[in-house]
């Protein structure tokens, strides 16, 4: 019989390799809505979107991770992780906090679930992408009524190795079927995948995205082992490549 303990690190290495994702930024011009021009010529792309609204989407783990049922996704306007504070402190963005009742009214009756589905589709897709109808309508309201430059969406998905069909199939094949007969319970251990994207309100398109996952986690772990200080937190690593915002004093 194939040594399952030998195959395990191989499968984990494959999972880490498949999970990598580099930050992406649009090559197209970006136009802010909260100011007309900069008083000084500042080289910025996404950093021009100084006034942002931040939304958070949390995805519960699926059945494949040992849950009784597939978890859903919830939308929130609050910031329990301190993510917004990190943005303000280190990147200079101004975060506009929406009133929850007004936000709900904008989405309309029954619009919340469809809106979440639109955002999830964009979070899980690579590269550029125009906003779907409900998202585009919200972006237009943010631009016209709140003078907001962009919408930042932070998605946190709880998942596990067993929820990836390709990896599960490859591991079963590599163990000559032993994994199917004697499942490795560690494959059901959940871990977070953090994704972030930024919509530009004037064009209703995605202009920046990043992801923190298994590959980032391994790199942060080894960095912290080599350093006497703790490694970076996941959300700090997620934001680190985002360019600083144009300072307010340089705009009018």
Residue 45 counted as domain residue: yes
Full residue range of the structural domain in which residue 178 is found: 4-240
Residue 10 counted as domain residue: yes
3-state secondary structure of 119: helix
Residue 20 counted as domain residue: yes
Residue 251 counted as domain residue: no
CA atoms within 13 A of residue 153's CA, in its CB half-sphere: 30
| pLDDT tens per residue, range 146-200 | 999 999 999 988 888 778 776 666 666 666 665 555 566 777 888 888 899 999 9
Residue 111 counted as domain residue: yes
Residue 250 counted as domain residue: no
Residue 183 counted as domain residue: yes
| pLDDT tens per residue, range 100-138 | 888 888 877 556 888 999 999 999 886 567 899 999 999
Nearest to 119 by CA among 61, 78, 166, 58: 58
Q: How many domains does the chain have?
A: 1
Place of tokens 């998942």: 159
Residue 25 counted as domain residue: yes
What is the crossing angle of helices 133-146 and 111-123, to 10°? Answer: 100
């Amino acid at each position: 019989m194939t040594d399952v303990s030998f195959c395990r690190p191989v499968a984990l290495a494959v999972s880490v390799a498949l999970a990598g994702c580099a930050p992406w930024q649009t090559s197209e011009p970006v136009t802010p809505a909260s100011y007309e021009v900069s008083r000084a010529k500042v080289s910025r792309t996404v950093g021009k979107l100084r006034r942002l609204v931040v939304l958070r989407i949390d995805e519960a783990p699926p059945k494949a991770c040992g849950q009784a049922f597939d978890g859903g996704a919830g939308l929130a306007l609050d910031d329990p992780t301190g993510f917004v504070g990190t943005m303000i402190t280190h990147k200079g963005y101004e975060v506009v906090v929406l009133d929850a009742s007004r936000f709900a009214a904008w989405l309309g009756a029954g619009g919340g679930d469809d809106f979440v589905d639109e955002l999830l589709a964009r979070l899980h897709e690579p590269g550029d992408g125009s906003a779907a109808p409900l998202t585009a309508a919200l972006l237009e309201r943010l631009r016209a009524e709140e003078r907001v430059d962009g919408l930042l969406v932070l998605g946190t998905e709880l998942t596990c190795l067993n929820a990836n069909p390709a990896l599960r199939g490859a591991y079963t094949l590599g163990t000559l079927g032993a994994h199917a007969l004697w499942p490795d319970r560690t494959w059901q251990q959940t871990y977070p995948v953090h994704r972030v994207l930024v919509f530009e309100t004037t064009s209703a398109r995605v202009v920046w995205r990043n992801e923190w996952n298994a590959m980032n986690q391994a790199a942060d772990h080894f960095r912290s082992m080599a350093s006497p200080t703790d490694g970076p937190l996941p959300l700090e690593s997620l934001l680190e490549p985002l360019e600083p915002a144009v300072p307010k004093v340089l705009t009018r």
